[in-house]
Amino acid sequence: MKPFSLLFVDDEEEFIATIEEFFDNLGYTVHTARNGQEGLLRAKEHQPQVVFLDISMPHMDGTETLRLIREIDDRIRVIVVSGYASAPLARDLLQQGAYDFFQKPVDLLQLHEAIERIRTMQDLS
């Protein structure tokens, strides 16, 4: 069985380092990208089951990145993690295909629970 793979796309170095260590220690295959363009390359290369995506990034924002990830493979579950959250933005991103939305600072255990829900649903299908 293919290892459960995660991709974190965020331009905050400290956040990425914390996330990478936390989920790596839990046994996930973790990939990272510092912007949307790099995130698209990693998504094509690694075909993760879940992508965690920031909204405010240089070169390509998260909204455009979400749209393009959905074009690559609409089975990838995209969870938006952003410090610039609002109810209308969250609603809009969910309508565009995001699986879930979390506001920074985020509880890593909540992110883990979201991953486990996705994993369970995929195991059942």
- Determine the Cα–Cα distance for residues 58 and 109; give it in Å rounded to an integer: 28
Eight-state DSSP code of residue 49: S
- 57-110 pLDDT per residue, tens: 888 888 999 999 999 999 999 999 988 767 888 889 999 999 999 998 999 999
Which domain covers residue 47, as residue numbers? Answer: 5-124
Q: Residue 2 CA to chain centroid, in angstroms?
A: 18
Report how many domains make up the chain: 1
Q: What is the CATH number of the domain that holds 75?
A: 3.40.50.2300
* Of 62, 66, 88, 87, the residue nearest 77 (C-alpha): 66
- Determine the Cα–Cα distance for residues 12 and 98; give it in Å rounded to an integer: 21
Torsion of CA 5, 11, 111, 121, to 10 degrees: -40
- What does pLDDT average to over the chain? 91
- 115-125 pLDDT per residue, tens: 999 999 888 87
Cis omega before residue 105 (within 30°)?
A: yes
Of 22-26, 88-92, 109-113, the one with minimum mean pLDDT is 88-92
- Determine the Cα–Cα distance for residues 59 and 73; give it in Å rounded to an integer: 22
